[in-house]
Amino acid sequence: MKRIAFLTCVGSLALVLTTWSAPSKTAHKSAKKARGAATVQTVSAKGGGHVVSHARTMRASRGVSAARVRSTRTTTASERIGARRNVTVNRERNISRASTLRSSRVEAARVRSARTATANARIAARNNVVASRQRNVRIVNNWRSDRFRGQNYAAFRDYRRQWHDRTWWRNHYSRIIFVSGGWWYWNAGYWYPAWGYASGAYYPYDGPIYGYGDLTPDQVIINVQIQLQRDGYYAGTVDGLLGPQTRGAIAAFQADHGLAITSAVDQPTLTTLGLT
């Protein structure tokens, strides 16, 4: 009997405990579910914030990239424009320089042409004058006419060619020199050809040459040729030879200045030329 009563008490107690624990578990489960939902919501919220932040970052990055692209394009376009402008400026400069050089060359050529024409005209005029004077003035080889009276022409009037050997010339004249292919001796202010001094000697002119300044006969003739060129009478070579062309120029000069036409280098002619 006691045993039955004990079992009944135990069963009642178990029933009570079962009844009490059911709501507690239910509440615990509900709270757990609520915490789970909250956790899920929190995670979702955090996740959503991360997505939003990532989206903003992506948009900002894209904006920066786009700005960089635009900046690069702008810079490239500016460089192209600058390069084109430089090419245009350089082309214009080159054209200007080429035009300036072309103008300078044309002007230089014009000046040279004008100078050449002037020089040719002067030479032609001199040649015409010389040719005309040589046609009108005869070279004189004989100085025994009345025009050669006076002391200034005594050397020409009295000149006679002399032939002697080397010994004779040395015994009679102390100054004998070799110039222009021949031997010349000095006597009383004049140079004379020393005929016979040496075989093969050459004398383009047979007569006296007035000397001055202790110059050799060839140097005297060179000075005469240069001055006659300046005065427009002589267009030949300055060679120190008293040949036909030089003698013709001297004759023309003497005729124009009222001098006795000796066709040779005499004192009045040198004085009129301004050489003595």
pLDDT band at residue 148 using 50, 70 and 90 as cut-offs: confident
Query: Residues 168-185: pLDDT tens digits?
Result: 999 999 999 999 999 999
How far apart are the C-alpha atoms of 208 and 270, rounded to whole Å? 14
Q: How many CB atoms lie within 10 A of CB 173?
A: 16
Q: Which of 18-27, 105-114, 155-164, 189-198 has the lowest mean pLDDT?
A: 18-27
- On whether the pTM is more than 0.75, the answer is no
Task: Give the 3-state secondary structure of residue 179.
Answer: strand
pLDDT band at residue 223 using 50, 70 and 90 as cut-offs: very high
User: What average pLDDT does the chain have?
Assistant: 78
Give kind and range of the element (H or E) at residue 185: strand 182-187
pLDDT band at residue 22 using 50, 70 and 90 as cut-offs: very low
How far apart are the C-alpha atoms of 258 and 256, rounded to whole Å? 6
If one compares 163 and 47, the residue with the highest pLDDT of the two is 163
If one compares 4 and 224, the residue with the highest pLDDT of the two is 224
The reported pLDDT for the residue numbered 123 is: 58
Is residue 205 predicted with pLDDT exceeding 60?
A: yes
Instruction: Tell me the mean pLDDT in the region 25-48.
Output: 45
Distance of CA 183 to the CA centre of its chain: 52
Q: Quick one: tokens of 98?
A: 């080429």
Tell which residue, 234, 227, 187, 232, has the closest CA to residue 208. Answer: 187
The reported pLDDT for the residue numbered 12 is: 62
Is residue 41 predicted with pLDDT exceeding 60?
A: no
If one compares 141 and 49, the residue with the highest pLDDT of the two is 141
Amino acid, res. 197: Y
Q: Quick one: tokens of 164?
A: 């002697």
The reported pLDDT for the residue numbered 14 is: 57
DSSP string, 93-119: HHHHHHHHHHHHHHHHHHHHHHHHHHH
Instruction: Tell me the mean pLDDT in the region 202-216.
Output: 95
Task: Give the 3-state secondary structure of residue 210.
Answer: strand
